[in-house]
Amino acid sequence: MRGGMSGAAVLRGLPALIPRTLAVASGRCSAPVASSVLPPAPCVLSLPWTASSVRTLQLCPALCAGHNKWSKVKNIKGPKDEARGRMFMKFGLLIRIAVKEGGSNPELNLNLAHILEQCRSKNMPKASIETAIKGAEKAKPASQHMFEARGPGGCLLLIEVLTDSNSRTLHEIKRLLNKNGGMLSDGVRHSFTRRGVVAMAGKTISTERALELAIEVGAEDVQETEDEDDQPLLQFICNTTDLSKVRASLEELGMQIMSSGLEFVPSTLSSLDRDQLDAASTLIEALNDCPDVVRVWDNIQADS
């Protein structure tokens, strides 16, 4: 053969090409292949989302842990930059509410101090925090509301909003609920109790030690859960007035605290099946994407 490889040379090269060809066909792309012999095949990265239910450790029968972290189905996030931007926007709303309620000095405003600590734990830039505080002081008047709703499977939702237009926000909340299988429902607020929550890394101590610590520091309940990065967390639940004391007591015992703040804890939990969980996740994601929504609290517990 003139101007190219002989037939014998091609045949001799086939054994070397076969493993590489199989590697590309299987999606491993372990070695490059000459484009003149075999066109490149794309590597497909599979990202299977998994879901796991929250395990709770009950110390007080009147309280049911498992709030606000019921399943990783709920925590499916989009691109990291976009999710990070939404998180910082929500922190800005929390700062605005805290400043509105107790002023801009965190030394005199305990709620603001806890929120700022959460901002720092999530690596919110210092400049962004300072801008949010200054913006809260100069912001035009806005009102804070708590909408009560029921979602898929009869789950209960508290939707905390901060808005400068009550009618606009009410219309948008109704639209999102109707579109995603929910509705406004009076009386839901009575199924939640405002509680202090102190969170620490779950790998640092055993479950038995966590139970002992909860009793020792005066916490009413402790739950084992995970954060949005799938890292284990222990959350100590206490009375709102005991939040600082519980946190300080844990720190004195050498525990590394990740965050602390006020949350709404449900008194009863709704157990949903997989389809209902998916529908609830879609609804809560839609509500969280609303610019006026600060937080969505729920009483959902995933089935094992």
Given a contact cutoff of 8 angstroms between Cβ atoms, the answer to whether 4 and 21 are in contact is no
Reported as a pLDDT band with limits 50, 70 and 90, residue 31 is very low
Indicate whether 156 pLDDT > 70. yes
pLDDT reported for residue 228: 67
| Model confidence pLDDT, tens digit, residues 275-301 | 999 999 999 999 998 988 988 999 998
Residues 96-151: tens digit of each pLDDT: 888 888 888 988 888 888 888 888 877 888 888 988 888 887 777 778 899 999 99
In angstroms, the CA 211 to CA 80 distance is 35
What's the pLDDT at 50?
Answer: 42
Q: What is the mean pLDDT of residues 17-42?
A: 43
How much is the average pLDDT of 3-9? 46
186-225 residue pLDDT tens: 999 999 999 999 998 877 788 888 999 999 999 998 988 8
pTM above 0.75, yes or no: no
Q: Return the minimum-mean-pLDDT range out of 192-206, 223-237, 247-261.
A: 223-237
For residue 194, the cross-strand partners are 264
pLDDT score at 68: 43
All domains of the chain, ordered by start, with CATH?
1-46 (no CATH), 55-76+143-302 (3.30.70.980)
**Which residue in this structure is represented by tokens 């002023």?**
103
Which amino acid is present at 7? G
Residue 233 reports pLDDT greater than 60: yes
Mind listing the pLDDT tens digit for each residue in 42-89?
A: 444 444 444 444 444 444 433 333 344 444 444 444 445 666 777 888
Query: Where do the H-state alpha helices sit in the chain?
Result: 7-25, 80-102, 110-121, 126-138, 166-179, 207-217, 243-252, 274-288
In the predicted model, is pLDDT for residue 24 greater than 50?
Answer: no
pLDDT confidence of residue 47 = 42
- Cβ-based neighbours of 116, under 8 Å, separated by 6 or more: 95, 106, 129
Q: How far apart are CA 14 and CA 157, in angstroms?
A: 64
pLDDT at res. 41:
46
